Amino acid sequence: MGEKDFVNDLFIAVGSARKPKLAAVHEAIAALADTLAAGAAIEIIGVEVESGVSHTPLSREESMRGARQRVEKLQKMAQQEGKPWSYFVGLEGGLDSVMEYGERRVFLESWAYVSDGTRGHFGRSGAVELPEALAEEVFVKGTDLSVAIDQFAGEAGIRDAQGAWGVLSANKITRQEAFRVALIAAFAPFFNSSAYRKGAVVKIG
């Protein structure tokens, strides 16, 4: 690779080496390539870093913090090791609980945090409600979701396949798809910068 090619390339560091997360990044970036970096060669690098939060975050705030902290560790690594990374991506799946008509409802969400080293933005998937028994096991008893969902579905290794998203939606929405949506939302301020410019007026209709 020549110096000119190296300058034109776009390197995206992801704070995980798990296949569904990396596949989601590849899918999202493929859809965004023309608007994010037209004509540039894009390389996605998976680096396993700690989130600094629970294996199964139990609030939206904790999931967001986990995604951000993965990015912060990647940025520190890039600074220390002189990595030419252009974007830093943190992905975190977790739960969120709300009270509705006096009843607790627990939802599974997927969060993304993306930074270019100067600014960062969050994106979130939709949410799917956990069955009461599964919510009790994870949210109340503290069982890790990856363990609980295997027991719930009577299968093994769901986390690295369709994920809890796939089990709960009968594979209409997989873990990878949920992260893809969160990623595109988090990248929006970068590829659609005119809408996020200070004082910008967005035309509707």
Architecture of domain 3-192: Alpha-Beta Complex (3.90)
Two structure tokens written together for 74: 């990647």
Phi, psi of 178 (to 5 degrees): -60, -45
Amino acid (1-letter code) at residue 195: A
Number of C-beta neighbours around residue 52 at 10 A: 13
Distance of alpha carbon 19 from the chain centroid? 13
**What does each C-alpha distance from 104 to 72, 107, 140 come to in angstroms?**
33, 10, 11
Number of C-beta neighbours around residue 118 at 10 A: 5
**Distance between CA atoms of 144 and 170, rounded to whole angstroms?**
21
| Residue pair 54/146 in contact by the 8 Å Cβ criterion | no
pTM: 0.90
Amino acid (1-letter code) at residue 12: I
Q: What confidence tens digit (pLDDT) does each residue in 9-18 have?
A: 899 999 999 9
Lowest mean pLDDT among 35-44, 94-103, 192-201: 192-201
Q: What confidence tens digit (pLDDT) does each residue in 92-125 have?
A: 999 999 999 999 999 999 999 999 999 999 999 9
Percentage helix, strand, coil for the chain under 3-state DSSP, each rounded to 5 = 45, 25, 30
What does R_g of the chain's alpha carbons equal in angstroms? 18
Q: Is 133 helix (H, G, I), strand (E, B) or coil?
A: helix
The pLDDT mean for the chain works out to: 91
| Residue pair 125/109 in contact by the 8 Å Cβ criterion | yes
Tell me, what's the pLDDT at 5?
Answer: 46
Q: pLDDT band at 197, cuts 50/70/90?
A: confident
Domain limits, the chain:
3-192
Q: Is 137 helix (H, G, I), strand (E, B) or coil?
A: helix
